[in-house]
Amino acid sequence: MKLHFLISLVYSPVLLVTLLVTVFSQPAFGQTRDTTSKSLPMIFDDDGSPDGMIALAYMLQNPKFNIKAITISQGEAHPDLFAKNIIRLLARLKRKGIPVAAGRSLPLVGQNAFPQEWRTSSDNFWGIPLPSSEESVQPLSAPQLIVKTLKKSPQPITILATGSMTNLAQALRIEPSIASKIARVHIMGGAVYVPGNLREGSKTAKNTTAEWNIWVDPVAAQQVFSSGLPLYLTPLDATNQVKMTKADSAAWRATGTPEAIVASNLLEWFFTTISSSSVSNWDTVAAIHLSEPSFCSVTPLHLDVKTTPGDDQGRILTDSTKPPNVNVCLKPNPAALPNGFSGIFIKQN
């Protein structure tokens, strides 16, 4: 997601690769497989973004979630470097035993990439100090860790994907049978009825329709959209409507928890970087939607992704003649949160 620096957007000729993942054991559209535990077992798949790390901090302190694995996709950071940052972040938060793995450094097809300035900043964890750790990044790739985690789980697992869809798409290619172990997939990405945000990285970008997470690997995104999995999308249509403020940052810090303090530091970094007292927080909004369904009612739509190179690559396409395949959050309701965004780090019973 996705700040405001300069990028030269590079397109290369693309050989489109289409993979149809046939899932015979999927529930009807919009249904989620039942889980039996009090906390939701989940995999967090992020691309190394500051809002993604706020989302991670939020989920780690939220008793509704039980994070089984963290995987890093290509996107706002270099996966190999940022996976090491995650290990050190977990040490700072005194969280042990959560496996972390890095994905490939390129999209499935082509060479779309985030601005190098963004990636360098993420690789350096935005200047926030992190301790060393005795734990290490998994020798498995991110897709392999997704497969392993799903296969060994006694119950279906929810995936929150807040970067490119590269890791999940690869995991489905490696082992299509894992689809039956996925309860649902929540995604932050896309722009359905609003403009895209590539121009936040380049004022001269000709693509005005795509959002970064989808554009950076449109083939992977289309594979996931057509997979038959229960999908929930939080696009720019929703995230553009909500802002987080310095008052939220102060409230988080006042709770005194390690997770809230890290989140506050990251939010303050946003304020300093873009010289504003309120900012969008894309991935955090998606995590809140996963935790609090009343935060946003969903609209079932049929969505596809424009995969061919050009000025609208990565565009989300709607088709009312086809059955819905994605539940889309279009109108978030912050009033549904008892204490607003300021209260998301208050300890819950």
Q: Is the pLDDT of residue 77 over 80?
A: yes
Res 204: pLDDT? 67
User: For 124-136, what is the mean pLDDT?
Assistant: 97
Q: Are 348 and 245 in contact, with CB atoms under 8 Å apart?
A: no
Res 293: pLDDT? 94
Conformation bin of residue 174: beta by default, left when phi > 0, alpha when psi is -120 to 50: alpha
Cα(18)–Cα(314) distance, integer angstroms? 15
pLDDT (tens digit per residue) in 295-330? 999 999 999 999 999 999 999 999 999 999 999 999
**Beta partners for 69?**
43
Report the candidate in 295, 346, 303 with the shortest Cα–Cα distance to residue 324. Answer: 303
User: For 52-57, what is the mean pLDDT?
Assistant: 98
Res 205: pLDDT? 82
CA contacts within 13 A on the Cβ side of 61: 23
User: For 149-161, what is the mean pLDDT?
Assistant: 98
Q: Name, in order, each residue with C-beta under 8 angstroms of 93's C-beta and a sequence gap of 6 or more.
A: 57, 60, 258, 259, 262
Res 27: pLDDT? 43
pLDDT (tens digit per residue) in 178-233? 999 999 999 999 999 999 999 887 766 899 999 999 999 999 999 999 999 999 99
pLDDT band at 167 (very low <50, low <70, confident <90, very high): very high
- In angstroms, how far is CA 54 from the centroid of its own chain? 11
**Mean per-residue pLDDT of the chain:** 90
Return the percentage of the chain with pLDDT > 70, whole number.
Answer: 88
pLDDT band at 13 (very low <50, low <70, confident <90, very high): very low
User: For 84-113, what is the mean pLDDT?
Assistant: 98
Res 18: pLDDT? 36
Report the candidate in 94, 80, 151 with the shortest Cα–Cα distance to residue 122. Answer: 80
Cα(134)–Cα(221) distance, integer angstroms? 35
pLDDT band at 38 (very low <50, low <70, confident <90, very high): confident
User: For 91-108, what is the mean pLDDT?
Assistant: 98
Res 275: pLDDT? 87
Res 33: pLDDT? 44
Cα(134)–Cα(108) distance, integer angstroms? 33
User: For 63-78, what is the mean pLDDT?
Assistant: 98
Count of other CB atoms within 10 angstroms of residue 131: 8
Res 60: pLDDT? 98
Q: Are 211 and 196 in contact, with CB atoms under 8 Å apart?
A: yes
Q: Is the pLDDT of residue 56 over 80?
A: yes
pLDDT (tens digit per residue) in 245-304? 999 999 999 999 999 999 999 999 999 998 888 999 999 999 999 999 999 999 999 999
Beta strands in the chain (DSSP E): 40-46, 65-72, 100-102, 157-161, 182-188, 231-234, 244-245, 278-279, 298-301, 303-305, 316-318, 326-329
User: For 131-146, what is the mean pLDDT?
Assistant: 98
Res 296: pLDDT? 97
Res 347: pLDDT? 73
User: For 104-121, what is the mean pLDDT?
Assistant: 95
Res 201: pLDDT? 76
Cα(243)–Cα(186) distance, integer angstroms? 20
Q: Name, in order, each residue with C-beta under 8 angstroms of 34's C-beta and a sequence gap of 6 or more.
A: none
